[in-house]
Amino acid sequence: MNLTEELETVKKKTNSKEQSQEMEEINQELSCEQERMESAGREMECAVCGAHGDADVRVAEAQKHALLARGDFERSQAKVSQRESDVSDLEVALAVMTKERDEVQSQVVADAQEALKVAEKRVENLKFEAQTVIIHELESRCSELTNSLAAAETWVEGCRAHNVSHDTTIRNFCKMRSSLTISCLFQVDIPTSDCLLDEGA
């Protein structure tokens, strides 16, 4: 082999060594980079796990608060439903009471009107009965006065027939008139003409 070939061979070997060293350096750098990447990956995984853990805790807390809020909402809805039911019951009771009150008022008014009609009719009957009694009493007194007047006329005729003096006749007639007035007012007996004649004599 000539010198040139040897030189080429040495260059090749040198180049091979340099390339090998470069390759080793590159491999080392790649290994370091890989380790850094793996470490970063592990850190990211830890961070992700931590984040997932925190998220899970927060989600659990949120679910817990949501359940509590839902329970409060359901209890509120139950209270609202109960209040609405109570209001409906009160409205029904009020309607019934109002109807009963109206019926009672109507019945009371009807009874009062009926009682007023009965009372008015009774008053009319009492008035009619009183008028009838008064008329009968007046008729009876008129009849008594008529009889008394006839008796007085008979008495006067008797006085004339017995020739009683004029003064005695007037005095006895005044007594007869007073007796007629007392008889009309108090319904007492009127003296007969014979009694008056005896007094005049």
pLDDT at residue 165, rounded to an integer = 53
Distances (CA, A) of 11 to 1, 14, 17, 23, 26: 15, 5, 10, 17, 21
Rounded to the nearest integer, the mean pLDDT of the chain is 76
Classify 190 as helix, strand or coil: coil
Asked if 190 and 180 touch (Cβ cutoff 8 Å), the reply is yes
Asked if 149 and 128 touch (Cβ cutoff 8 Å), the reply is no
195: pLDDT strictly greater than 50: no
**171, two tokens:** 């005095």
154: pLDDT strictly greater than 50: yes
Q: Of all residues in the chain, what percent carry a pLDDT higher than 90?
A: 21
Q: Residue 100's pLDDT band (boundaries 50, 70, 90)? A: very high
Per DSSP, which regions of the chain are E strands? none
pLDDT at residue 6, rounded to an integer = 62
Q: Which residues contact 158 (CB under 8 A, 6 or more apart)?
A: 193, 194, 197
pLDDT at residue 92, rounded to an integer = 93
139: pLDDT strictly greater than 80: yes
